Chains A and B, each alone.
Chain A
Amino acid sequence: MVDALRVIRDDGSTDPRLDPKLAKDEAVAMYRWMTLERILDNRMLALQRQGRIGFYGPSLGQEAAIVGAAMAMDPDDWIVPQYREPGAALVRGMPLKELVCQFMGNAEDPAKGHQMPCHYVYRKGNYLSISSPVGTQLPHAVGIGWAMKLLGDKKAVLAFFGDGATSTADFHVAMNFAGVFRAPTVFLCNNNQWAISVPVSKQTASATLAEKANAYGFDGVRVDGMDALAVYRATREAAHRAKDGLGPTLVEAVTYRIGPHSSSDDPSRYRDESEVAAWQARDPLPRFRRYLERSGWWDDRDEARLEQEIGDDISRAVQEAERIPPPGPDTMFADVYAEMPAHLREQMDAFLARPRR
């Protein structure tokens, strides 16, 4: 179905030439993060439907391309996200409760309710803040990598974006600057086939997205984005090359957005259910589970225990988060500047002293 690098075969065996040979702990952790992302997405979509969070953008179907890539980076490396990678934030150590607080925009949201759900940030994990406009983060990823290089830090940056982003001016300038300055940046394009309602065939006349790298003077590779080991392998190789001074790489992970673009989207308006079903047959989670089972690392009891644990963790995080009040009115004025200027203080003071009806 996809002409791309593939490691896990349908029966769960791996291509011995390409298998990154993860230790059991790593492989199980990878599965755990993917499963957490899947269950979290479904629970958050349900909460959104119940009116308990305002908005949600699920990553259903893309867990391998997100978690596989995030786990390929070292802790010192930076991750520059788009807005559909909660699994990557979790891999980076963002506590589940903090994430849920962000979805709720409550007083324990580290960003103080300043941003809508799914725009989380985790400085401690070198996980950058998210903006909604597509592609804007890509030049930042190049600048971060360029700075790493200037300071002699042997690190790399992983930048997430989608197929739609490859049409933006920011994608072009980022790729061009990265090529010219040999920035240690891994461009991880999650080609999930759809930018809301527009298919990738209408975004570009290129046969693949990976080949766009050629024009910028560096390598592009195409991997099966439903195969966490393939994504892991390609990303890790790209990160190592970056750290060795060999410059950027574009990794196109061919995947599929099984769910809606967001809780506000109805995909039945623009795509056929049979297409979704065909991709669902390649769901990255059962495939990875077959690999674990075939390796003798997983069975039904492990699966049941994992689902139970994750379900409990999420329930606990939601319960705790729902008890937390919204941020105080003064937080609206916080973090505009390092120091609050006089005009803003005047507005805040007047607002806080306003007569209550």
Chain B
Amino acid sequence: MPAMTMVQAINNALREEMRRDDRVVILGEDVGRNGGVFRCTEGLIDEFPDRVFDTPLAEGGIIGTSIGMALYGLRPVPEIQFMDFIYPGFDQIVSEAAKMRYRSGGQFSVPMTIRTPFGGGIRGGHYHSQSTEAFFCHTPGLKVVVPSTPKEAKGLLTSSIRDPDPVLFLEPKKLYRASREDVPEGELTTPLGQAAVRRAGKDVTLIAYGYMAQVCLEAAAKAAEKGVEAEVIDLRTLVPLDEPTILASVKKTGRAVIVYEAPRTGGYGGEISAILAEKAIEYLRGPIVRVTGFDTPFPYTLEDVYLPNADRVLAGIDKVMAF
């Protein structure tokens, strides 16, 4: 089993799905000859010269034509170079792709997986660092998936491509090359809509996704040194959300810290907080705490202090453990 970075695992998933299903096509900016600016599509154009397309520089066109391809029966996997660039295609995603099944009474559907790197941690400034998943989680008809390990990046991407509905697949670019993991060659799927318990613990539940799941694991290790056993839940799929796993954990621990790197106000973690308040408040021993980015645009120089780190998560843990 070869050890792969997340970039390599994504590349492997794309290659294998293209081999398995000739309806799968890739299009986007610089995805062909250049293999994508992060190299996720590297070499695919050599094996599939008629199914990998460098497009003109227009996200609305990339998403919009992908919708057309999907309507006709292909399985497009468009890449948006950075999530920060996705907005010219926003209308096509939320108002067209996500609504096609509903508005046609099930006559048409858009099986398309939009891949895009998101989040901070690579010193990319405001326009290469944002984490704006909340816009998309607020969109009925769309699924939103976020891997945090190489192996699951492959499994989740494979499942997304095979899914009959449009999927926004958010790749945490901080984790693209952060580590290697053994990733099986060949068939590997990870079901959508299921969270993973990354670490078991009885005292407090940490809920996160993407890079923040890693940060939570670091924080949990530090908390353990102080005798606090934190359970870490990596959501993996934001929509549809795995509520049972979150609720079971919080009912057990009675404490919840939700961690996301997006601006605090209106972030997806607020929704999770609301679910916990509605469905598990009688189990809570203290307030639900959020550890998040700030309500500012994403800063360049102060990136490291903008992003939640293990110490900020620990402070959040201390806050709920005081009860």
Residues of A within 8 A of B (CB): 78, 109-112, 114-115, 119, 121-123, 128-131, 133, 136, 138-148, 150-151, 169-170, 172-174, 176-177, 180-181, 334-338, 341-344
Interface centre among A78, A136, A344 (most CB of B within 10 A): A136
With A and B bound together, what is the CA distance between A139 and B72 in angstroms? 13
> A337 and B108: CB pair below 8 A?
no
* B72 engages A144 (CB within 8 Å): yes
Which of A119, A129, A143, A151 is close to B64, meaning CB atoms less than 8 Å apart? A143
Q: Which of B61, B66, B140 has the most CB of A within 10 A?
A: B61
Query: Which B residues are CB-close (under 8 A) to A151?
Result: 72-74
Given A114-B102, A121-B105, A121-B107: A133 and B91 within 8 A (CB)? Answer: yes
In the complex, residue of chain B having the shortest beta-carbon distance to the beta carbon of A143: B68
Q: Footprint of A on B, CB under 8 Å? A: 25, 50-51, 53, 55-56, 58, 60-61, 63-74, 76, 88, 91-92, 95-96, 99-109, 140-141, 143, 164-165, 193, 239-241, 243
Q: Are B67 and A139 in contact (CB under 8 A)?
A: yes
Residues of A within 8 A of B63 (CB): 139
Cβ-defined partner of A343 (8 Å) among B101, B102, B240: B240
Which of these, B53, B67, B92, B103, contacts A115 with CB under 8 Å?
A: B103
Interface residue from A119, A133, A143 paired with B66 (Cβ < 8 Å) = A143
- Partner of B95 from A115, A119, A131, A145 at Cβ < 8 Å: A131
Known contacts: A142-B64, A176-B56, A337-B141. The answer to whether A114 contacts B103 by CB under 8 A is yes
Specify which chain A residues have a CB less than 8 angstroms from the CB of B53 in the assembled complex: 181
Q: How far is the CA of A139 from the CA of B102 in the complex (A)?
A: 20
Q: Chain A residues near B66 (CB, 8 Å)?
A: 143
Sorted nearest first, the 9 A-B pairs with minimum C-beta distance are: A143-B68, A139-B64, A173-B61, A341-B240, A111-B105, A143-B65, A123-B107, A147-B72, A129-B104
- Inter-chain contacts of B67 with A (CB < 8 A): 139-140, 143
Residues of chain B within 8 A (CB-CB) of A115 are 103
Given known A128-B71, A169-B60, contact A139–B65 (CB-CB < 8 A) = yes
Given contacts A136-B95, A169-B88, contact A338 B72 (CB under 8 A): no
Complex Cα distance, B243 from A342, in Å, reads 9
A335-B95 in contact given A139-B60, A176-B56 (Cβ < 8 Å): no
Q: Is the CB of B101 within 8 A of A337?
A: yes
CB contacts (< 8 Å) of B193 on chain A: these are: 341-342
CB <8 Å contact, B101 and A128: no
CB atoms of B65 and A142 under 8 A apart? yes
In this complex, what residue of A is CB-closest to B164?
A338
Q: CA A147 – CA B72 in complex, angstroms? A: 7
A177 pairs with B240, CB closer than 8 A:
no
Residues of A within 8 A of B99 (CB): 131
Tell me the smallest distance from the CB of A103 to a CB of chain B, in Å: 14
Contact of B106 (CB < 8 Å), options: A133, A143, A146, A335:
A335
Q: Is the CB of B91 within 8 A of A144?
A: no
**A174 and B61: CB pair below 8 A?**
yes
Given contacts A142-B65, A335-B101, contact A147 B91 (CB under 8 A): no
Q: Which residue of A lies closest to B67 (CB)?
A: A140
Q: Contact at A342–B61, with CB atoms within 8 Å?
A: no
- Once the chains are docked, how many angstroms separate the CA of A111 from the CA of B101? 9
B241 x A140 contact (CB < 8 A): no
Residues of B within 8 A of A181 (CB): 53
| Alpha-carbon gap, A129 to B101, bound state (A) | 9
A343 touches B241 (CB 8 A): yes
Contact A129 B165 (CB under 8 A): no
Some 16 contacts from A to B, beta carbons below 8 A apart, are: A114-B103, A121-B103, A131-B103, A136-B64, A136-B95, A140-B67, A143-B65, A143-B76, A144-B68, A148-B72, A169-B88, A170-B60, A335-B101, A337-B164, A337-B240, A342-B193
Q: Which listed residue (B58, B60, B102, B243) contacts A335, Cβ 8 A?
A: B102
Report chain A residues within 8 Å CB of B106: 334-335
Contact (Cβ within 8 A) B68 A337: no
Residues of A within 8 A of B108 (CB): 121, 123, 128-129
Cβ–Cβ < 8 Å partners of A170 in chain B: 60, 64, 92
Q: Are B105 and A136 closer than 8 Å at their CB atoms?
A: no
Residues of chain A within 8 A of B64, CB atoms compared: 136, 138-140, 142-143, 170, 173-174
Complex Cα distance A341/B165, Å?
12
- With A147-B74, A169-B88, A343-B241 known as contacts, the answer to whether A110 contacts B105 (CB < 8 A) is yes
Q: Please measure, in the bound complex, the distance between the C-alpha atom of A129 and the C-alpha atom of B68, giving whole angstroms.
A: 12
Chain B residues with CB under 8 A of A144: 68-69, 71-72
Known: A109-B105, A136-B96, A139-B68. 7 other contacts (CB 8 A): A111-B107, A142-B65, A144-B68, A148-B72, A335-B101, A335-B104, A341-B240
A140 to B103: give the CA distance in the assembly, Å: 15
User: Which chain A residues lie closer than 8 Å to B143 at the CB level?
Assistant: 337
Asked if B65 contacts A338 (CB within 8 A), the reply is no
Shortest CB–CB separation between residue A77 and chain B, in angstroms? Answer: 12
Distance (whole angstroms) from the CB of A167 to the closest CB of chain B: 14
